[in-house]
Amino acid sequence: AQSVAQPEDQVNVAEGNPLTVKCTYSVSGNPYLFWYVQYPNRGLQFLLKYITGDNLVKGSYGFEAEFNKSQTSFHLKKPSALVSDSALYFCAVRDSNAGNMLTFGGGTRLMVKP
């Protein structure tokens, strides 16, 4: 079975500071990992994904994520937060051995304060 955990319901950061949103996963095969962002009353927008290759993945809006196989983590990062980054962030995983289904984490609300 595949699972993903986002241990923080909310992350608060000051504008201009670096941000990290945490995600850990569990799969039996190789993981395909994804980050999505959701702004109020909108659908989820794709940010970035890790399938294979470099452990550091760069995505939209200056976000990046680091795949760490030993720690089974895929934390989302940004060097300098913007107030407009405030949103709900979802991590998702798909087990390469287990069909086409994504499993989503519970989401982390990012609040960036001026």
Binding stretches for another protein (CB under 8 A): 32, 34, 36, 41-46, 49, 51, 90, 92, 94, 99-102, 104-107
Query: Considering beta carbons, is residue 99 or 114 the nearer one to another protein?
Result: 99
Q: What is the DSSP string of 18-81?
A: -EEE--EEE-SS-EEEEEEEE-TTS-EEEEEEE-SS-SEEE-GGG-EEEEETTTTEEEEEESS-
113 neighbors 10 (Cβ within 8 angstroms): no
Query: Considering beta carbons, is residue 75 or 109 the nearer one to another protein?
Result: 109
Query: Considering beta carbons, is residue 15 or 38 the nearer one to another protein?
Result: 38
CB of 59 to another protein, least distance (A): 12
